[in-house]
Amino acid sequence: MASGPEPSAARVLPCGDTALLVELSTTLAAAGLAGRIADLQTDGWAPWDGVIDVVTGERTVLVVAQHPRAVAALRPLLLDLACTPTVSDSAEGVRVGLAHLVEIPVVYAGADLLLVAAHTGLSVAQVIAAHTGTEWKVGFTGFAPGFAYLIGGDPRLVVPRRAEPRPRVTAGSVALAGPYSGVYPTESPGGWQLIGHTDLPLWDLQRDPPAVLRPGMRVRFRDAGGTS
Assess whether 29 and 111 both reside in one domain. Answer: no
Assess whether 192 and 86 both reside in one domain. Answer: no
> Taking residues 162-189, what's their average pLDDT?
96
Assess whether 108 and 214 both reside in one domain. Answer: yes
Assess whether 209 and 162 both reside in one domain. Answer: yes
Interval 121-156: pLDDT, tens: 999 999 999 999 999 999 899 888 899 999 999 999
> Which pLDDT does position 1 carry in this prediction?
34
Residues spanned by the domain of 168: 102-223
Assess whether 67 and 107 both reside in one domain. Answer: no
Q: Are 35 and 94 in contact (CB under 8 A)?
A: yes
> Taking residues 40-46, what's their average pLDDT?
76
Question: Exposure string (b/e) for 35-53, b if CB count within 10 Å is 16 or more?
Answer: bbbbebeeeeeebbebbee
- Is the residue at 146 inside a domain? yes
Which of 67, 93, 119 terminates a domain? The answer is 93
pLDDT mean across residues, the chain = 86
Which of 61, 93, 125 terminates a domain? The answer is 93
> Which pLDDT does position 209 carry in this prediction?
84
**Total structural domains within the chain:** 2
> Which pLDDT does position 3 carry in this prediction?
37
CATH number for 15:
3.30.1360.40
CA gap 205, 86 in Å, rounded: 37
Question: For a pLDDT cut of 70, what percent of the chain falls above it?
Answer: 88
Q: Are 202 and 183 in contact (CB under 8 A)?
A: yes
- Is the residue at 52 inside a domain? yes
pTM equals 0.78
Assess whether 149 and 69 both reside in one domain. Answer: no
Which of 36, 67, 93 terminates a domain? The answer is 93
Q: Are 143 and 223 in contact (CB under 8 A)?
A: no
- Is the residue at 3 inside a domain? no
Assess whether 119 and 190 both reside in one domain. Answer: yes
CATH number for 141:
2.40.100.10
Q: Which residue has the higher pLDDT, 154 or 206?
A: 154
Interval 5-37: pLDDT, tens: 344 578 999 999 999 999 998 888 888 888 788
In the predicted structure, residue 2 carries a pLDDT above the cut 90? no
- Is the residue at 5 inside a domain? no
In the predicted structure, residue 228 carries a pLDDT above the cut 80? no
Assess whether 78 and 108 both reside in one domain. Answer: no
Assess whether 32 and 57 both reside in one domain. Answer: yes
> Which pLDDT does position 87 carry in this prediction?
44
> Which pLDDT does position 100 carry in this prediction?
66
Interval 61-120: pLDDT, tens: 999 998 888 898 999 999 998 887 654 444 444 444 444 689 999 999 999 999 999 999
- Phi and psi for 11 in degrees, rounded to 5? -135, 145
Q: Which residue has the higher pLDDT, 98 or 162?
A: 162
